[in-house]
Chains A and B, each alone.
Chain A
Amino acid sequence: MFRRSMVITRREFVRSGSGLAAVGLLGAGRRDAEGQEPPARSRVVLIRRTDALGEDGAPDGKVLHAMLNEAVAALFETSEPAAAWKRLFGPGDVVGIKSNVWRNLPTPPALEEAIRAEVIGAGVAPGDVAVDDRGVLENPVFKRATAFINTRPMRTHHWSGLGTCLKNMIMFVPRPADYHGDACASLGAIWRLPEIEGKVRLNVLVMLTPQFHGVGPHSFSPAFVWPYKGLLVGTDPVAVDATGARIIEAKRREHFGEERPISPPPHHIQIADTRYGLGVSDPQRIDIVRLGFMESAL
């Protein structure tokens, strides 16, 4: 079964003969114990819709849900979102949806709900799905999870340069500050913990209103977010984050009118590739599927 292969090893996936052409779909945590090389390429879906945000700037739940489904379907090269979700999850799975509650820019609740609905729609029992952030270590569903979906908004970050999908798993360790050194270079190690490795089946980097710069004690100012109205979706968190990082860098160039490198440098993304083998950071090896409007896509 394809679903099981994704969790276990790449070799078993290949054996399964699922017919899925995109080797790049094998992303985070899928280099197995036999030392398989990371995939040659990864696929990331960038979807944007002009109506993703309402007039008040809040996400439109229905539009967001449709964007999510369209992106997941495109990721798995199918026209049927339900079929794509069923490739990811099924009866017997216990799914933790790792969200982000940062007060200034949280994962939109509407997106959490959409993900939850699709996971249940794929056959997972409602009692076996939970959404959490700060409480993942105590959450009973997360404790027995067979799979995770990782979703958060992209933003600049005080310790890691960027708040990324890779960074979002830091709540799975009891002392997150232990990973703050060298601009959080070792975040990839968290993804190699037994309770996480191979379980993150989907990453959704929220690019609705990304934050490209931070100031002050709260590292936030509305002046430094913009309505990008997008989502980045992939199974490879490194490729998703690397793609998001390039968008942030481009926005900073546009806004500041000069090269203003992200500080501290978000090198945890590249290191997740080179040191931890979690995916692909080289843009030359990332296939971006672009859906929706691409004006000012950066």
Chain B
Amino acid sequence: MMRVQIWEALVWAGLLSLPLVATACGDRGGGVASLRPLVPAQVGGWQAADHGELYDQESIFSYIDGHAEVYLAYGMKGCLARRYTGPSGEADIALDVFEMGSPADAYGVASYDRDGESVDIGRDGRFRYGWLSYWKGPFFVSVTAESESAAAREAVLELGRSVAALITDNGAPPPLIGALPLSGLDVNSVRYLHSQQILDTHLWLGEGEVLGLAPDTPAALVRYLRDGRSAHLLLVDYPDGARAEQAAAAIAGRLFAGPPGGGPTLGQDGRWHGVDQRGARLVVVIGAANEELAAALLSEVGAPQGGG
């Protein structure tokens, strides 16, 4: 199955590179600020209109109006923003390089929006509607042409490649991603997160933060499709079993008003839900089309490495 093959390649490429990853320092250890003098001043017919502005966790709100919370939810440390003025008749290009809390966070923020065609730039490079995005090391890179044209597309891709070449740390996907069952996994639905606000934008599980998501609780949300039947799988790794147990009881109460660990349960919405615990890992199946799918997904997830 093509979907699985692609996914396997992605996961294994990431996991195999894990031992090679140096500290999450970006280029030469200086973070996003050290990229500023290295970012190209010209790309195609586009000329840099400034030297690049740096934003921190406070000032980012003045730059990204209404959306900064997404980056902060992934531990954003800083952002380098540079504008490029195009030749006559062409719109500007905006380069935004976000230094995230870790390569896992960079992966996570890239997973927030997986639309678009796949391009071989950075990691998980995507291009849609004049917008290129990818992650590499602890960086999430966005290059946006404010109006689409063939020339703008080429300039966007060229600028993206140039910035990717400046980032020496490849980074690796979060280990939790490797715990996802592969059969029927919809690659474009894989979200990595550790905040309730981000989870809520992808899947609403009701009011309140019953899962206790925090920076120390990596989570993965994925949609599965097997034999035409769908389900969501949510994995959360807690620092200890006690927190996982607490979260399991809370989310089971939310989904089917019962205790966790009893196998799939038919909810009032006519879908099957299940909550289980593998050591410090919470396993939640949400909205499975039938009991078999819910049971299979629950059974296919193991405990975290190290016992959790």
Q: Are A183 and B131 in contact (CB under 8 A)?
A: no
Instruction: Collect the chain B residues with CB atoms within 8 Å of residue A157's CB.
Output: 66
- Partner pick for A177 among B69, B98, B130, B146, CB 8 A cutoff: B69
Q: Knowing A180-B197, A181-B197, A182-B204, say if A218 contacts B69 (CB, 8 Å).
A: no
Q: Give chain A's interface secondary structure class.
A: loop
B204–A221 touching, CB < 8 Å: no
Do B71 and A217 have beta carbons less than 8 Å apart? Answer: yes
At the interface, yes or no: A19 with Cβ under 8 Å from chain B?
A: no
CA distance A159 to B70 in the complex (A): 10
CA distance A224 to B145 in the complex (A): 12
Chain A neighbourhood of B161, CB < 8 A = none
Kindly provide the distance from the CB of A287 to the nearest chain B CB, expressed in whole angstroms: 33
Q: Considering only CB atoms and an 8 Å cut-off, how many residues of chain B contact the other chain?
A: 27
Given A221-B144, A221-B146: A215 and B204 interface contact (C-beta under 8 Å): no
Chain A minimum-CB-distance residue to B79: A217
Measured between alpha carbons, how far is A240 from B131 in the docked complex, in Å?
32
Q: Contact between A217 and B197 (Cβ–Cβ < 8 Å)?
A: no
Judging by beta carbons under 8 Å apart, are A215 and B131 in contact?
A: yes
Per the CB 8 Å criterion, the residue count for chain A at the interface is 23
A222 within 8 A of B: yes
Contacts of B69 in A (CB 8 A): 177, 180
Q: How far is the CA of A180 from the CA of B73 in the complex (A)?
A: 13
- Whether A223 and B129, one on each chain, are in contact in the complex, defined by CB atoms closer than 8 angstroms, is yes
The answer to whether the Cβ of B147 comes within 8 Å of any Cβ in the partner chain is yes
Asked if B130 and A218 sit within 8 Å, CB to CB, the answer is no
- Asked if B105 is at the interface (CB within 8 A of a chain A CB), the reply is no
Does chain B have a CB within 8 A of A264? yes
Report the minimal beta-carbon distance from A171 to chain B, rounded to whole angstroms: 11
Kindly name the residue among B71, B131, B142 whose own CB sees the greatest number of chain A CB atoms within 10 A: B131
Query: Does any Cβ of A come within 8 Å of B200's Cβ?
Result: yes
Inter-subunit contact B64/A215 (CB<8 Å): no
Instruction: Please name all residues of chain B whose beta carbon is closer than 8 Å to the beta carbon of A158 when the two chains form the complex.
Output: 66-67, 70
**Nearest-Cβ distance from residue B4 to partner chain A, whole angstroms:** 26
Give the distance in Å from the alpha carbon of A224 to the alpha carbon of B204 in the complex: 27
Q: Are B200 and A180 in contact (CB under 8 A)?
A: yes
CB proximity to B under 8 Å, residues A100-133: 102-104
B64, A217: Cβ atoms closer than 8 Å: yes
Contacting A221 at CB < 8 Å: which of B66, B70, B131, B201? B131
Residue A274 is within 8 A (CB to CB) of chain B in the complex:
no
Nearest A residue to B116, CB-CB: A215
Question: Is B96 positioned at the interface, with any CB of A under 8 Å from its CB?
Answer: yes
User: Nearest chain A CB to B77's CB is how many angstroms away?
Assistant: 15
**Contact B91 A216, beta carbon cutoff 8 Å:** no
The answer on a CB contact under 8 Å between B197 and A177 is yes
Interface assignment of A98: CB less than 8 Å from any CB of chain B: no
- Complex Cα distance A221/B129, Å? 9
| B148 A223 Cβ-Cβ under 8 A | yes
Q: Which residue of A lies closest to B207 (CB)?
A: A181
Interface check B94, CB cutoff 8 A: yes
Mask of A44-73 contacts with B, CB within 8 angstroms, 1/0: 000000000000000000000000000000
Q: For A102, what are the chain B residues with a Cβ–Cβ distance below 8 Å?
A: 65-66
> Could you say which residues of chain B place their CB within 8 Å of the CB of A180?
69, 197, 200-201
Q: Mark A204-234, 1 if CB is under 8 A from B, else 0.
A: 0000000001011111011110000000000
From known contacts A102-B66, A182-B200, infer whether A218 and B129 are also in contact, taking CB-CB under 8 Å: no
CA–CA, A216 to B69, complex, Å?
14
Most B Cβ at <10 Å: residue of A216, A218, A219, A222: A216
Chain A residues within CB distance 8 Å of chain B: 102-104, 157-159, 177, 180-183, 185, 213, 215-219, 221-224, 264
What are 7 A-B pairs at a CB distance below 8 A?
A158-B70, A181-B197, A218-B94, A219-B67, A222-B91, A222-B146, A223-B147
